[in-house]
């Protein structure tokens, strides 16, 4: 079983909800799984046209800083236009 920094999974799920359209016609798909000693959180991208003013990447930066205290491994963030993927080093 992989471990991650406290509240990081919650932050990533909240981030996905905040930035994407969610409806019956456009459900938001979020997957959380383990892959090669990393915890992976990925979601479909269906960006909202209007985002809250406080959307400045602060959440992801906080996650990166948290992990820098816990491990030398880096948090990976991948945005290919269809999927937004965050790979967290296992602790």
Within a 10 A sphere around the Cβ of 50, how many other Cβ atoms?
Answer: 6
pLDDT at 80 (0 to 100): 95
Question: With 0-12 CB in 10 A as exposed, 13-18 as middle and 19+ as buried, what is 43?
Answer: buried
Average pLDDT taken over every residue of the chain: 90
And the tokens for 64? 């990166």
Mean per-residue pLDDT, 53-77: 87
Residue 57 in this model has a pLDDT that exceeds 70: yes
pLDDT category, 5, cuts 50, 70, 90? confident
pLDDT in tens, 19-34: 999 999 999 999 999 9
User: Which DSSP string corresponds to 7-36?
Assistant: THHHHHHHHHHHHB---SSSPPPEEEEEET
Collapsing DSSP states into helix, strand and coil, what is residue 64? helix
Note the pTM of the prediction, 2 decimals. 0.89
């Amino acid at each position: 079983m992989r471990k991650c920094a406290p509240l990081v999974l919650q932050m990533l799920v909240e981030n996905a909800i905040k930035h994407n359209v969610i409806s019956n016609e456009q459900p938001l798909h979020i997957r959380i799984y383990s892959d090669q000693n990393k915890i992976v959180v990925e979601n479909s991208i269906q960006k909202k046209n209007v985002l809250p003013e406080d959307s400045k990447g602060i959440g992801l930066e906080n996650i990166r800083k948290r992990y820098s205290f816990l491990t030398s491994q880096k948090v990976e963030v991948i945005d290919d236009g269809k999927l937004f993927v965050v790979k967290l080093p296992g602790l």
